[in-house]
């Protein structure tokens, strides 16, 4: 049930603890607030907070967030194009743009910041944390680039997929990169219960990710997932050649069954299974094991463009997708979503069974462009999806109206797809939510904002242009 936990591990009495107010289990079972602080909405004092990462010149963008359950430490990855100062450290961009990784403690105090990039254009794409608190960052880098250790790593003139692992204190553990003379992009990263690492992305031409060259085919790009062990040793890679595909994200359940979320056009083949898009771009979902075996694959689409950017998988293997669609309508099983306008995009959130079949789908949007960017599941099995919208958009019984051009949103749904809450973030300019993660029942929201915007109970003012933000919000 929402806000309750089975903290005595006795199934006979169900979920007996109110995680929102319990003095001994605040937010998660077994956690008391330090110093006898009062638990409010699943947060201890100081845990409803927001921080801006920016400078007076240039723009900064938050891309993704992650947290360590044991300590409550929070991490943010993003981009910047001038300079940053955080935790007493100053970072200066080396080229057009660099990626940054920032660490905060449970109450939002900055701990450290690191730069990833070189003399060209580099982007932070995703971040994950394992059970030991080690941090994994996926980036797209071009040319010679510092992958977090302070020294440049040689590379080609086109984009390369890179992954960097840091200790909880911010020391680089290891880094890997793969690419060729054509574009290769890292797009997402996650870990499993054993500490193995999974990086998603796309590539063109032929690329060796560690186990021999993979070929994307003659048409365009192939989606790819690459797995490393906890020490950075290559384990396996799986790709989808033949058309134009991207593997954006992957998530795993407690038994090691994973779901890949991506997009594709034309016809692609995933481990011998051929799929064809109905429109320009369709959604691609692939079931995969921790050893790289395809379990199933599904395509979802209609006459236009559909994109699935992020996926979250619960402990039972049910998956939740977030993205946007431009077709007049799109069907997920028995649920057909109808676009609010014929030429703009709407948000979708869809749930799949552990075997890849549709459970339900929900649409959110108005008559202008709206998009879903991120999704996560908290410890009470509530689904949280983020993105951006314009104008007025209904989210269940709540309608949100943007304050200016584009505002960010966070919508929370039950496991059955019922909307429980919707929140707006933004001011008179462009603001968006790009990343969502959870820490117990608390929600982490990352993105970028301009001017002054309020996140939870905390107002933030950008230092200049767009600033990145990270916020920890109560349920």
List the single range of 249-253, 315-319, 440-444 with lowest mean pLDDT. Answer: 440-444
List Cβ neighbours of 406 (8 Å cut-off, separation of 6 or more): 388, 389, 390, 426, 430, 431, 432
Tokens of 239: 């790709």
Model confidence at 1, in pLDDT bands (50, 70, 90)?
very low
Q: Which is more confidently placed, 446 or 36?
A: 446
Angstrom distance (rounded) from CA 470 to CA 65: 8
Burial annotation 416-455 (CB, 10 A radius, 16+ → b, else e):
ebebbebbbbbbebbbbbbbbbbbbbbbbbbbbbbbebeb
What average pLDDT does this structure show over 40-61?
85
Model confidence at 69, in pLDDT bands (50, 70, 90)?
confident
What average pLDDT does this structure show over 126-150?
95
Q: Are 437 and 410 in contact (CB under 8 A)?
A: no
Percent of the chain at pLDDT > 70 equals 99
| Matching residue, tokens 């591990």 | 9
How many CB atoms are closer than 10 A to CB 249?
Answer: 28
Check whether 304 has a pLDDT greater than 80: yes
Longest dimension (CA), the chain: 63
Tokens of 289: 């094991």
| Matching residue, tokens 């990086």 | 199
What average pLDDT does this structure show over 256-260?
97
CA end-to-end distance (rounded Å), the chain: 13
3-state SS, one letter per residue, for 238-304: EEECCCEEEEEEEEECCCCEEEEEEEEECEEEECCEEEECCCCEEEEEEEEECCCCEEEEEEECCCC
3-state DSSP assignment of residue 47: coil
Per-residue model confidence as pLDDT tens digits over 416-447: 999 999 999 998 889 999 999 999 878 999 99
What does the chain come to in residues? Answer: 475
Q: For residue 181, what pLDDT is reported?
A: 74
Check whether 390 has a pLDDT greater than 90: yes
Q: Which is more confidently placed, 173 or 158?
A: 173
| Matching residue, tokens 């007996």 | 16
Residue 357's region, left for phi above 0, alpha for psi from -120 to 50, else beta, is beta
Average pLDDT, the chain: 93
List Cβ neighbours of 71 (8 Å cut-off, separation of 6 or more): 105, 106, 133, 168
DSSP assignment of 80-108, as one string?
Answer: ESSEEEETTEEEE-SSSBEEEEEEE-TTS
CA angle 402–395–350, rounded 5-degree value = 120
- Partnered with residue 49 across adjacent β-strands are 472
Q: Give, in order, the Cα–Cα distances in Å from 32 to each of 74, 207, 376.
A: 19, 49, 24
Residue 227's region, left for phi above 0, alpha for psi from -120 to 50, else beta, is beta
How many CB atoms are closer than 10 A to CB 36?
Answer: 8
Q: For residue 3, what pLDDT is reported?
A: 61
| Matching residue, tokens 């951006």 | 388
Q: For residue 57, what pLDDT is reported?
A: 87
Per-residue model confidence as pLDDT tens digits over 220-233: 899 999 999 999 99
- Partnered with residue 50 across adjacent β-strands are 471
**Cα dihedral 142→143→147→149 (10° resolution):** -160
Q: For residue 35, what pLDDT is reported?
A: 84
Check whether 46 has a pLDDT greater than 80: no
Check whether 2 has a pLDDT greater than 80: no
Which letter does DSSP use for residue 13 in this model? G
List Cβ neighbours of 300 (8 Å cut-off, separation of 6 or more): 282, 283, 285, 306, 308, 330, 331, 332, 350, 358
Check whether 167 has a pLDDT greater than 90: yes
Q: Give, in order, the Cα–Cα distances in Å from 179 to each of 187, 189, 209, 229, 465.
A: 14, 17, 8, 20, 33
Model confidence at 13, in pLDDT bands (50, 70, 90)?
confident
Q: For residue 146, what pLDDT is reported?
A: 95
């Amino acid at each position: 049930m929402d806000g309750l936990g089975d903290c005595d591990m006795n199934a006979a009495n169900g979920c007996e603890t109110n995680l929102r107010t319990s003095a001994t289990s605040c937010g998660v079972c077994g956690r008391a607030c330090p110093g006898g602080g009062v638990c409010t909405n699943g947060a201890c004092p100081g845990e409803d907070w927001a921080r801006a990462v920016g400078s007076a010149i240039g723009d900064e963008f938050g891309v993704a967030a992650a947290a360590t359950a044991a300590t409550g430490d929070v991490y943010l990855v993003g981009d910047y194009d001038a300079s940053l100062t955080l935790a007493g450290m100053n970072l200066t961009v080396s080229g057009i743009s660099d990626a940054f990784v920032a660490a905060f403690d449970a109450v939002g105090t900055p701990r450290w910041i690191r730069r990833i990039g070189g003399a060209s254009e580099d982007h932070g794409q995703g971040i994950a944390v394992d059970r030991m608190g080690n941090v994994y960052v996926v980036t797209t880098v071009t040319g010679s680039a510092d992958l977090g250790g302070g020294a440049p790593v040689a590379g080609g003139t086109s984009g390369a997929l890179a992954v960097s692992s840091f200790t909880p204190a911010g020391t680089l553990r290891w880094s890997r990169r793969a690419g060729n003379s054509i574009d290769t992009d890292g797009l997402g990263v996650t870990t499993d219960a054993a500490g193995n690492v999974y990086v998603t992305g796309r590539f063109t031409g032929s690329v060796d990710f560690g186990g021999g060259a993979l070929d994307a085919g003659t048409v365009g790009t192939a989606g790819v997932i690459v797995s490393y062990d906890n020490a950075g040793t290559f384990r396996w890679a799986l790709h989808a050649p033949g058309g134009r595909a991207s593997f954006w994200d992957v998530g795993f359940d407690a038994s090691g069954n994973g779901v890949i979320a991506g997009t594709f056009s034309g016809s692609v083949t995933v481990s011998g299974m051929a799929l064809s898009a109905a429109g320009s771009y369709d959604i691609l979902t692939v079931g995969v094991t921790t050893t790289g075996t395809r379990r199933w694959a599904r395509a979802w689409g209609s006459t236009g463009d559909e994109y699935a950017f992020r996926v979250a998988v619960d402990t039972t293997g049910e998956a939740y997708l977030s993205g946007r669609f431009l077709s007049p309508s799109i069907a997920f099983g028995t649920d057909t979503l109808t676009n609010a306008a014929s030429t703009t995009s709407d948000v979708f959130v869809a749930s799949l069974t552990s075997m890849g079949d549709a459970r339900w789908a929900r649409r959110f949007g108005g008559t202008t462009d709206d998009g879903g960017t991120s999704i996560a599941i908290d410890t009470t099995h509530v689904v949280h999806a983020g993105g951006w919208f314009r104008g007025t958009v209904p989210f269940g019984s709540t309608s949100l109206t943007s304050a200016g051009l584009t505002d960010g949103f966070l919508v929370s749904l039950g496991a059955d797809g019922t909307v429980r809450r919707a929140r707006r973030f933004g001011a008179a300019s462009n603001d968006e939510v790009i990343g969502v993660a959870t820490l117990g029942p608390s929600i982490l929201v990352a993105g970028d904002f301009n001017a002054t915007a309020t996140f939870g109970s905390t107002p933030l003012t950008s230092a200049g242009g767009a600033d990145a933000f990270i916020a920890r919000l109560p349920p």
